[in-house]
Amino acid sequence: MEEKAYKLLGIQLGISGKRAKELIDRGLVYVGDRKLKIARAVMSEDTKFRVEMPSKIHKIYENSDILVVNKPAFLDSYEVEASYEGAKLIHRLDRETSGVLLLAKSDEFLKKAIEAFRNRLVKKFYTAWVEGVIFEEIVIDSPIHTIKGPKSISKIDTRLGKDAITIVKPNEIQGKKSKVDLEIKTGRTHQIRLHLSSIGNPVVGDEQYGSPTKSKRVLLHASKIEIFGEVYIAPEPKDIVRYK
């Protein structure tokens, strides 16, 4: 017998089909080592599913103006915002990206912080595992054009693109994978993922931008943010500390 994946998952977990479909759409459901991508895929009724729920949100710092958290992978930035009454996102991270996320606790600070981001007064640092071997510093300055939609995608476009700068520094090499430290001078949609892909070194697990490696998630972590003279650091999760 065969049935749609979300229905089978719902039966196995004792949850509604709607909830099961939501788990699959969020990228939390696996069959073996493969992420289940299509909720309506027809599968055998004896298929065994595994659900990888997000880790807890860890608070890094808080005062009357700002709340800084270490966002776990597989959690939308808006879900983090909804977890703290009165706090508003200053910026966002992709669902699968972990790390430093800033929220404002007052409208006045929110406006001030957004202005600082807009004027490039905020320093943003990331760490990632990428395909291939990187052994020297690289500066990528290809302009980026983003096509907005239910699933936004960015492209290198010298005519329509906006300026974007990513600095890549080697950290560690493990086989044919490299751990790199990154600083972005701009904040374009999917900037790091697209820029690394454009030089032939997509982030491990980033199938959208060309990674051939199956991974539980895109191995990208927002490690540090410097704003208004303060430095906020998010410890690396296990999958970033060491690649397998």
Among candidate residues 25, 94, 157, 163, the one labeled active-site is 94
What CA–CA distance (Å, rounded) separates 241 from 236? 6
The sign of the CA dihedral 52, 55, 56, 62 is negative
Whether 25 has a pLDDT exceeding 90, the answer reads: no
Query: By C-alpha distance, which of 204, 163, 188, 57 is closest to 196?
Result: 204
Per the annotation, the verdict on 94 as an active-site residue is: yes
pLDDT: is 189 or 27 the higher one? Answer: 189
In the predicted model, what is the mean pLDDT of residues 182-188? 95
Whether 28 has a pLDDT exceeding 80, the answer reads: yes
Whether 164 has a pLDDT exceeding 80, the answer reads: yes
Phi-psi region of 209 (alpha: psi -120 to 50; beta: other; left: phi over 0): alpha
With cut-offs at 50, 70 and 90, classify the pLDDT of residue 152: confident
Phi-psi region of 205 (alpha: psi -120 to 50; beta: other; left: phi over 0): left
Which fold does the domain 58-241 belong to in CATH?
Pseudouridine synthase (3.30.2350)
Whether 101 has a pLDDT exceeding 80, the answer reads: yes
Specify the pTM.
0.84
Query: By C-alpha distance, which of 92, 185, 175, 72 is closest to 129?
Result: 175
In the predicted model, what is the mean pLDDT of residues 174-202? 96
With cut-offs at 50, 70 and 90, classify the pLDDT of residue 45: confident
Backbone φ and ψ for 85, nearest 5 degrees, come out as -60, 130
Residues 195-206 have pLDDT tens digits of 999 999 999 999
> Rounded to an integer, what is the distance from CA 3 to the centroid of its chain?
32
Burial of 3 (0-12, 13-18, 19+ CB in 10 A): middle
HEC string of 143-192 equals CEEEECCCCCEEEECCCCCECCCEEEEEEEEECCEEEEEEEECCCCCCHH
CB of 225 closer than 8 Å to CB of 116: no
- Across all residues in the chain, what is the average pLDDT? 93
Can you identify the CATH homologous superfamily of domain 2-51? RNA-binding S4 domain (3.10.290.10)
Domain boundaries, the chain: 2-51, 58-241
Parallel, antiparallel, or unpaired for β 29-31 and 34-35? Answer: antiparallel
In the predicted model, what is the mean pLDDT of residues 85-99? 96
- DSSP letter, residue 96: T
With cut-offs at 50, 70 and 90, classify the pLDDT of residue 210: very high
Which of 11-25, 96-110, 178-192 is predicted with the least confidence, judged by mean pLDDT?
Answer: 11-25
